[in-house]
Structure 1
């Protein structure tokens, strides 16, 4: 489905994350001992959700023949009273959409692939490499 590799580049907590064709930098902010050279892990988590949100809604709108104009999503996270992560999305489109269109987009966004995985959870395994 997907594969990435992360490699430290010797600058404190800074790491390069790549998939063979593209690369991003991950780091911690200075307040946590990093240099702020890239997004922190939970920012990357929100970035994955925001990318899936934007792409899925753009695909859906195109299929329906709806013009979204410039689409924007703002994501933030907090912790609830039980210390569970709560993610909030605010969606924007520069084109004029009806209330019915917005209602449908809000239904579709609840079913994006990354939204589903984040809600359902995933099995995560780990193993030692051979180097």
Structure 2
């Protein structure tokens, strides 16, 4: 399925990430001691959810031959360790209210949404 790598050297928190054959830079904001040279880890998590939501809903609309003009996904991570949550707002253009409601329902079942809601075991070992 998917795979990636992350490498950090001596440049404080700047991390070179490679996923799907694409290179990204992740960092922390200056307020946390980073150089703000790229998105922070939670920003990348939101990016993953936003991209999955947008792509899945576009695919669904195409399959139904609906005239979806555009879709914006606004995401906000809030809360702390014990009450963390993501609020997602969809702005959909070109569809009627019933079609918009169906896309909002489909958004609850995108692959990344289901992964985040269900949790994911992570096994760590030394290479």
TM-score normalized by structure 1?
0.91
Stretches of structure 2 lacking an aligned partner (at least 5 in a row): none
Q: What is the SS of the residue equivalent to 2:53?
A: helix
- Name the counterpart of 1:93: 92
- Name the counterpart of 2:107: 109
- Name the counterpart of 2:70: 70
- Name the counterpart of 1:8: 8
Output the CA distance in 2 between the equivalents of 1:26 and 1:41.
7
Alignment of 1:10-25 (within 5 A): 10-19=10-19, 21-25=21-25
Output the CA distance in 1 between the equivalents of 2:113 and 2:20.
25
| Runs of 4+ displaced beyond 3 Å | none
Stretches of structure 1 lacking an aligned partner (at least 5 in a row): none
Count residues in correspondence. Answer: 127
Output the CA distance in 1 between the equivalents of 2:96 and 2:27.
41
Deviation track 1:71-126 (CA, whole Å, cap 9, x = no partner) reads: 2111001117x83211011111232x111101100110000000001000011010
Deviation track 1:13-47 (CA, whole Å, cap 9, x = no partner) reads: 00111036211110000000000000001111111
